[in-house]
Structure 1
């Protein structure tokens, strides 16, 4: 565990030291380390996570384009090109950029190219899932497919099925579906997203990160409230909130190894257990985090949800409160 009072660091690589070294190389414009790392990555959960983190770092550069030009038949380069195009389209969407539509279509073409270049790979389908949220009116037929179960809304279920076929219970694919429902749900109370999160968690096997989806919806509900209503703090200690936190602890945390756990998931479970006053259990999550943290969900507990300095203070207060337990 981080030493007493030590301020945590945000590192997208987290406990993945090989990924951290590759990111350092990437930031200097070199792609050889990225190719080597991806060639050595065999587990789909790790491949999905590493390509996402690398694309986030590479989106503001031409390093992946250079790699693809040097090795036009490289499957990892083709997948990374799709990843980067999707990241750029999503950034443009968030910023209201006038070229969002062009970037969206470019990313869609790159993702479909990747599906053909890498048939067994779930990531190109995850990319298409990520782009689905840009279709605000659900004009594309693939974004309004009938759901696989009752009480679920139409959505990009076919894309999710393709990702699941290649990597069952792929964490990012299901989070992309959740993000789609946040933007496209018909209920302002996040009812569709909540229903989906519980459905996915109920169908997930032990050790799956999908057991955490209800925690993410709970945090999203709090974020949308602005955290201004003190009465909302009660929902962190409500019976269903405590049950969701305990489920995440026993069905996910206790069934996984350090390398498998994302920092964002660890932070959400630590936050949920702390909010539910389960301090002894929360300490285990803080120990697993070690010197790292992520601004979310802690930032949503502050008056200014974009203030990282305030967010880290909330994190430190929570960690200190749990340690004596």
Structure 2
């Protein structure tokens, strides 16, 4: 179990009087990663130097490289800043990777916004080409392959994203062993295999695969994949969160257009099982010193599932680890679907304060 006092260190900094009501609220996926926050601020001012330094410092910490590059691409503002960087440093693996990341996001955005097939196809080709260049410059990096899994969501044959497709076993999109391994769904398994070959259990790669099943197959397929993964006891503890994310997607799909949505969904044994499992197998093993580099989205999803299922003691531990930070999801969508107040942050602040008061720092954790 995490040391409750250590887990509450960040919380205490923002609550000088020791009361939950004093803690501020910062809605941000960045959390306490100061270097990432500075790099994002720099990008929004049209400068890439801090991002370049951050990625250089991140080095071959592949998991952190994947998550930081994703947030840099998402929060940069004007994506052309990465093209400027690449033009200035054409042989930079970091610049090439970031340009591929923003082009991948642009292709997905074009598809989801209903742009023409020609526009989406052109965007996809540009993203794939940039990804191949990034792989050439740093072959051992998993990030370009994570992007290929994301591009597999587009309405084109996914094997076209795989330069080694001709040399692989067929059918290309069937998991070796298929039904014998308990996973019958077709998907871009060779692309995930390339990610695993470079960084086994890469969080970004497996969430990209979950998103593929959710968007291309079905909510049920995404749930099957996520549950199948944790049954195999993943080497990366972060992957214990996969079913929690899949449950949020299931809730959205089943209740988004249903005015009779209730909270009973979150009070079921299925939610409780996967939330407590993720707490025990991931969060409880996590050294507090690593909290600043943990995905704030992971913290938020776990805290939400625990508190919604009535596991408030465990939720209090996670909320303290989050400090003043939170991501809008899943709180915002769940709040909207359940027909609560328009400002989800009001409900979150009330919930956080009541949970932390009920389980103060002095409460022993067993």
What's the TM-score, normalizing by structure 2?
Answer: 0.81
* In 1: Cα distance, 2:103 partner to 2:151 partner: 10
Distance 1:82 1:311, change over 3 A: same
Secondary structure of the residue aligned to 1:302 is helix
In the alignment, is the contact (CA less than 8 A) between 2:173 and 2:186 conserved in 1?
A: yes
Q: CA RMSD in A?
A: 2.5
Deviates most, 133-142 or 203-212: 133-142
Map of 1:63 onto structure 2: 81
Map of 1:16 onto structure 2: 33
Note the 1:293-312 alignment, pairs <5 A: 293-303=326-336, 310-312=343-345
Matched, 1:29 2:46: yes
In the alignment, is the contact (CA less than 8 A) between 1:178 and 1:197 conserved in 2?
A: yes
Shift of 1:309: 5.2
* In 1: Cα distance, 2:235 partner to 2:25 partner: 29
1:119 to 128, 134, 139: 139
Distance 1:206 1:114, change over 3 A: closer
* In 2: Cα distance, 1:307 partner to 1:277 partner: 19
- After superposition, give the CA deviation of every residue in 1:225-262 in whole Å (9 maximum; x if it has no partner): 12746565223222221111111111111122313421
List runs of 5+ in structure 1 lacking aligned partners: none
* In 2: Cα distance, 1:35 partner to 1:288 partner: 28
Shift of 1:293: 0.7
- The higher relative CO (CA closer than 8 Å, separation ≥ 6) is in 2
Shift of 1:10: 1.7
Map of 1:270 onto structure 2: 303
List runs of 5+ in structure 2 lacking aligned partners: 1-10, 166-171, 359-366
Matched, 1:93 2:125: no
- After superposition, give the CA deviation of every residue in 1:105-158 in whole Å (9 maximum; x if it has no partner): 110111122122211000000010111111267685869610243333010000
Distance 1:133 1:217, change over 3 A: same
Shift of 1:317: 3.0
Matched, 1:157 2:189: yes
